[in-house]
Structure 1
Amino acid sequence: MNQLLPPLHQKNPIASMEFTLASSASAKTALLSCRQMGLGSPKLPNVWRRSSWRSRSSRRNTSLRTVAMSTTAGLVNNMEAPEANAQNVNYMWPDKKRPRICIIGGGFGGLYTALRLESLVWPDDKKPQVVLIDQSERFVFKPLLYELLSGEVEAWEIAPQFSDLLANTGVRFFKDRVKCLYPCDHLGTNAPTAGTVHLESGLLIEYDWLVLAIGAEAKLDIVPGAADYALPFYTLEDAHRVDKKLRELERKNFGKDSAIRVAVVGCGYGGVELAATISERLQQKGIVQAINVDKTILSNAPAGNREAALKVLSSRKVQLILGYFVRCITKGNEPQTDAEPGSIDSAADHSESVTLELQPAERGLQGQTIRADIVLWTIGSKPLLPQLEPSDKPYDIPLNARGQAETDETLRVKGHPRIFAVGDSSTLRDRNGKLLPATAQVAFQQADFAGWNLWAAINDRPLLPFRYQNLGEMMTLGKYDAAVSPSFTDGLTLEGFVGHTARKIAYLIRLPTDKHRVQVGISWLLKSTVDSVATIQTMLTKAQ
């Protein structure tokens, strides 16, 4: 595929930005540009009503209805968006002739699409103006969140600010909440604009091209009590929350003959990586139990990764409860059946613990009840794709049952030639008809194609069909331990320190910008040097 991509070019300097205040009437006029298509006016949103992320999908209604993202107003280059309760404001693009691209979501799909667009060679009159909108001021490299718990990385290394990543580009960043979306690009129409994005701060952004890269969030509403007592591990805030809870439990149990009980729900990659990392951190002061509905862990992973994980979990005495699912989670100090008299947990204080009721997935097994001081939830996710307000006009974006946009093989949303969807917002299948996994690897590759196809569409060139290439699978198993199964060699799995090094190098290469890669690489090298010296000193001390 690389030979089809245009070469890099020298980046143009950042163009200036300007805002023009508009009256309420003119703001509504901008929002109702769809009138020019002879289809009537879409229903205006209530500017003063706050929305939250909601994704509704049912058998009767699988179309996009409303938009919502949670952020506050903000902008790169010391530009300020209006306050949330201010009058509507029209965003004035610096150039009225050049294409306008709005990207919603700054995860792997959104940010890397923006950077891909910046790297391509454009005719001077067609180089697009790009706006990136996200609910956070930081990009999060999610595969490395586990290293925050082990202390291997610092927050700035895996969660740099968008303002730093985009400082030398022409991409404008808004930290804001998308409230409503009005696409006008459905087939058979000829509108002067492809649609309008209405931010919760009151800013109205017209666009020629739109990229949906909103991502997903943990799904905690599938089991009673999960939303109240379980902690997800999906965002930077989730990682900080889990680390804070573990620190509190470690301080509370310091010097006591009691164990911290951790229940990890789910034994996919996320659950296994969490169980391995936390069991290594707590060591003899913790009891980690991993619950999975299947009778094995990592059921879809390469055999080498599964075997490496089983070996590590067994060596760290992680208790695997397989063939069970969580029926409910309740608050209370229920008696623990597996704690023997005189054991490290028999005299533990679990006054703030919760109880998990487990039900067997197959007949022939009896239910179980376990107690935990902290419950980590790693199963289920729901896309945060925006929803349009109900309308009888044909703007609806088709969604599948999970709430993802139905796209064609070029990543364009069906029925909307000016809207692309990537990452968790899109639904594509591989050559065998299986839905592509919601992984960073898929989002990386889709962002590359989305950037190229936007270039091709703007320059009247044919669009490329997306073809996913599985490059292999990697997982961390604790500090200086990992498993890597590359796809180009069957049966090969790199384990232990070798796997850990290969994984860190692979992710270092994938960091967003050259500057950030250099900074993080130097930081990791210094840490590794210090740890090596400390290890040598310890060995010499023991030898004396």
Structure 2
Amino acid sequence: MKNKIVIVGGGAGGLELACKLGRKLGREQVSLVDCRLYHIWKPSLHEVAAGTLDIHQEGLSYQMLAHDNGFTFVYGALTALESASKRLTVSAVRGDSGETILPERHLEYSALCIAVGSISNYFGVPGAREHTISLNATDDAERFRLKLLELLAMAELRKDLQPDAGLDIVIIGGGATGVELAAELREASGVYADYGFRRLDPAKDVRITLLEGAPRILAPLPERVSSAAARLLAKRHVTVVTGCRVVDIQANSLTDAEGLTRPADICVWAAGIKAPDFLQTLGLPTNKAGQIEVTDRLNVTGFPDIYALGDCAACPGAEGRLVPPRAQAAHQQADYLNDTLLRQADGKPAPDKPYAYRDYGSLVSIGQQTTVGSLMGSLKGLSWFVEGLFARTMYVSLHLMHHQAVLGTMRTGVLAVGRFLVKRTTALVKLH
């Protein structure tokens, strides 16, 4: 199977790149490889986990996107790379009973773009991998949601015998994922109570604790953003503990460096990310975090025909620091590579300027109605604190901009209206 451009990874950056190139070059020249059948915007996984977003309504089929945007979708995972012969291996796909649905395949390329994102970094904490859930993908978010429903039902049944029955949810990591999940769960717990768990007092019986090792939550963001988020979480009866380092996790509890043991009926790990481990088996240069090392043109160091973007790429940024693993970085890198690869296809030279990351600020959702964050100005180091309706509107617009890139303006508008109407005719949380 001959392909000119192969993109591995259908996250925000990889999918946007495939759609833009496909619309220009066509399905014979552009292929997207992914081990899943549908796409979801990763920053919305905390809503899937809380049940406030239905993955079956939100997910976009790669096959549908390929048809509409003019690229070829290849279902499977990257398992091997032969850079000398410009060939990669895509794994076989097997059913639930182990039967082979699709055989192992080989793809040839003239340009390869790796955009496989990131996974959780457990930092060697005992029990973290076995006893926590990490929101790396939709399967993880759905697993959390179903476990939450099970625990709510069990706590409801115990109320007759145990008036103080409830459940303890512990989130390890006070970054954007942890903060957004804590707030979303608090709002969702009140809705779940309305839909049948009426014996539970959401604020009292659904106990949510957020643990952060740094002196404050949202440590990479301005202190004013961190303080506002902490204040809003406190109003929502979320317990925030900073300066807390977890050293051991058991099935129903965890222990910190001070020897304090906390109950945890369900525990979420949101304390850090790293590049997928398999990248270190491909023969490409990687750093200590497992990220692929790339130049300021986004090609892999020493491999001019292989590129990497997004969380899995160690891309040089300003003042010797790496570009941060954010959705806005992946979006910008996809735009840069789209220009680069289209120029190659037309026989033109590469862009004159290297890729330069521009920080537009960060927004953190605190439930369905409130957002806090900072927006960067055109002057270096200048930022504005934003909160409330304006910040929430900006946050929602980021999701819509991503959909616009892969669906187009008209379909994005129709989809937004459709989801608004669906929310008015269905339960506010997914109950099955």
> Could you say which residue in structure 2 is the equivalent of 1:299?
219
> Could you say which residue in structure 1 is the equivalent of 2:152?
250
Q: TM-score, normalised by structure 1?
A: 0.67
Check conservation: 1:178, 1:198, Cα contact below 8 A. yes
> Could you say which residue in structure 1 is the equivalent of 2:348?
460
Check conservation: 2:87, 2:107, Cα contact below 8 A. yes
Check conservation: 2:168, 2:264, Cα contact below 8 A. yes
Check conservation: 1:304, 1:491, Cα contact below 8 A. no
Q: TM-score, normalised by structure 2?
A: 0.84
User: Counterpart of 2:254 in structure 1: which amino acid?
Assistant: L
> Could you say which residue in structure 2 is the equivalent of 1:420?
307
CA distance in 2, matches of 1:387, 1:149: 28
1:275 to 164, 182, 187: 182
> Could you say which residue in structure 2 is the equivalent of 1:81?
none
* 1:10-68 deviations in Å (ceiling 9; x for gaps): xxxxxxxxxxxxxxxxxxxxxxxxxxxxxxxxxxxxxxxxxxxxxxxxxxxxxxxxxxx
> Could you say which residue in structure 2 is the equivalent of 1:321?
241
Residues 494 and 116 (structure 1), Cα distance of their counterparts in 2 relative to 1, 3 Å cut:
same
Residues 434 and 229 (structure 1), Cα distance of their counterparts in 2 relative to 1, 3 Å cut:
same
User: Counterpart of 2:336 in structure 1: which amino acid?
Assistant: F
Mapped pair 1:180 → 2:68 = no
Check conservation: 1:148, 1:155, Cα contact below 8 A. yes
Check conservation: 1:508, 1:520, Cα contact below 8 A. no
Residues 494 and 525 (structure 1), Cα distance of their counterparts in 2 relative to 1, 3 Å cut:
farther
Gaps of 5+ in 2: 93-103, 190-201
- Displacement of 1:529 after TM fit? 6.4
1:382 to 274, 296, 301: 274
> Could you say which residue in structure 1 is the equivalent of 2:115?
213
Mapped pair 1:356 → 2:270 = no
Residues 388 and 401 (structure 1), Cα distance of their counterparts in 2 relative to 1, 3 Å cut:
closer
Mapped pair 1:195 → 2:86 = yes
- Displacement of 1:198 after TM fit? 1.6
2:139 to 237, 247, 250: 237
Check conservation: 2:11, 2:42, Cα contact below 8 A. no
User: Whose helix fraction is larger, Structure 1's or Structure 2's?
Assistant: 2
Structure with larger Rg:
1
CA distance in 2, matches of 1:388, 1:310: 38
CA distance in 2, matches of 1:525, 1:157: 12
Mapped pair 1:160 → 2:60 = yes
1:523 to 410, 418, 422: 418
1:95-114, aligned counterparts within 5 Å? 100-114=4-18
* 1:298-351 deviations in Å (ceiling 9; x for gaps): 1111334212211111112222221121111123xxxxxxxxxxxxxxxxxxxx
* 1:262-295 deviations in Å (ceiling 9; x for gaps): 1110111111111111123333221111111111
Mapped pair 1:116 → 2:11 = no
> Could you say which residue in structure 2 is the equivalent of 1:486?
375
> Could you say which residue in structure 1 is the equivalent of 2:193?
none
Check conservation: 2:50, 2:145, Cα contact below 8 A. no
1:227 to 117, 126, 129: 129
Check conservation: 1:214, 1:385, Cα contact below 8 A. no
User: Counterpart of 1:375 in structure 2: which amino acid?
Assistant: C
- Displacement of 1:135 after TM fit? 0.5
Residues 503 and 528 (structure 1), Cα distance of their counterparts in 2 relative to 1, 3 Å cut:
farther
Structure 1 vs Structure 2 CA RMSD: 2.5
> Could you say which residue in structure 2 is the equivalent of 1:450?
337
* 1:474-496 deviations in Å (ceiling 9; x for gaps): 11111222224221385533323
Gaps of 5+ in 1: 1-90, 94-98, 185-193, 332-353, 360-365, 390-394, 535-544
CA distance in 2, matches of 1:128, 1:420: 20
1:381-420, aligned counterparts within 5 Å? 381-384=273-276, 386-387=278-279, 396-420=283-307
* 1:365-416 deviations in Å (ceiling 9; x for gaps): x431111111110012221264576xxxxx9421111111111111011111
2:326 to 439, 448, 455: 439
3-state SS of 2:377 partner: coil
User: Counterpart of 1:111 in structure 2: which amino acid?
Assistant: L
Residues 388 and 355 (structure 1), Cα distance of their counterparts in 2 relative to 1, 3 Å cut:
closer
- Displacement of 1:509 after TM fit? 2.1
Check conservation: 2:310, 2:329, Cα contact below 8 A. yes
3-state SS of 2:70 partner: coil
CA distance in 2, matches of 1:506, 1:275: 21
Residues 302 and 441 (structure 1), Cα distance of their counterparts in 2 relative to 1, 3 Å cut:
same
User: Counterpart of 2:256 in structure 1: which amino acid?
Assistant: L
Check conservation: 2:90, 2:105, Cα contact below 8 A. yes
3-state SS of 2:171 partner: strand
Q: What is the number of equivalent residue pairs in this alignment?
A: 390
CA distance in 1, matches of 2:152, 2:364: 26
* 1:57-101 deviations in Å (ceiling 9; x for gaps): xxxxxxxxxxxxxxxxxxxxxxxxxxxxxxxxxx2x3xxxxx711
